[in-house]
Amino acid sequence: MTSSSPTHTTEYAIQLSNVMKTFGETRAVNGLTLDVPTGICMGLLGPNGAGKSTTMRMLTGQALADSGDINVLGLPIPKHSKQARARMGVVPQRENLDEELTCRQNVAIWSTLLRVPRRDRDHAVDRVLAAAQLTDRADSKASTLSGGMRRRLLIARSLVHQPRLVLLDEPTVGLDPQIRGDIWTLIDELRSSGVTVLMSTHYIEEAERLCDDVAVVSHGQVIAQGAPSVLVAEYAGVEALECFGSPDRLAMIEARCEELGFPSRRTGPTVSILRAEAIPLHVVEGFGEAIRRPANLEDVFVRLTGERLEG
């Protein structure tokens, strides 16, 4: 790096300020502002079309913002995209493995592209294959791998140069719950090792389990940010009361909640009343059949956006 290159600030790995991106008449990112502290796992939580993947592409310089400021590892983007990209690992939502190459060859090629010193390459490849639990499949072609193994190989490939920042775009999309758990373990190990992780997802449980901090994204904007437990406490309270009944009865319950000032949300054939711990007992009894449950991050998301997350 030359002396004129910007220096890395340790406080934030990523900073976006009032970033805009439009495709035709569609504004994919609409004034997004976000700071990601170094060394945490930050989740971008939102439904498909919220602007998460576009944000990821702008961070790597694959898409150019129309306006706003982006800094990655202390480097302004897109001016220093190449330098920033060399210091980060990127796991795309769409797979781009070389099907006819083995796991070892797929990773080895990237070790060369990412300028891992020649003397260190074999060790680096072995290290990340072991971390991804692919040592026993090192000489298997990518075309023979299961869906979960393919995702682990993508993650291994992104780690071969020991990046300080890893971007994961919907890392477990389309995987069954058991395989998703294997990916979660790998991501959690990254976070525990001090690597900064920015992960886009529309799986509530994924964000709750893995992320130190969550940014709720809707229509290209961050509409709330904080630790999952803090967001739940702020917007949903401690408990939710899930009420059952006919459509007319549920509509009555919603109207009564609005009258009393308690937030509620429809959950298919039920109505969930938030902050239920504060509802007087005689009011609860008037709602008929109901169950109490802990408030959760999905309650927060639906309350803030009116949208449901589907995975």
User: Could you report the per-residue pLDDT of 135-150, keeping only the tens digit for each?
Assistant: 999 999 999 999 889 9
**Which residue ranges make up each domain of the chain?**
12-231, 237-295
**Ramachandran class of 159: left when φ > 0, alpha when ψ lies in -120 to 50, beta otherwise:** alpha
What is the C-alpha separation between 84 and 107, in angstroms, rounded? 20
Q: What is the pLDDT of residues 87-97, one digit of tens each?
A: 999 998 888 89
Q: Which helix (H) or strand (E) holds 145?
A: none
In this structure, what is the dihedral angle of CA atoms 80, 84, 85, 88, given to the nearest 10 degrees?
-170
CATH architecture, domain 12-231: 3-Layer(aba) Sandwich (3.40)
Residue 155 DSSP one-character state: H
Query: For 159-168, b where at least 16 C-beta lie within 10 A, e where not — what string?
Result: bbbebebbbb
Q: What is the pLDDT of residue 211?
A: 95
pTM: predicted TM-score of the whole model, two decimal places: 0.87
Residue 9 has pLDDT above 60, yes or no: no
Identical fold between 12-231 and 237-295: no
In CATH, 237-295 is 3.30.70: yes
CA distance 175 to 186: 15
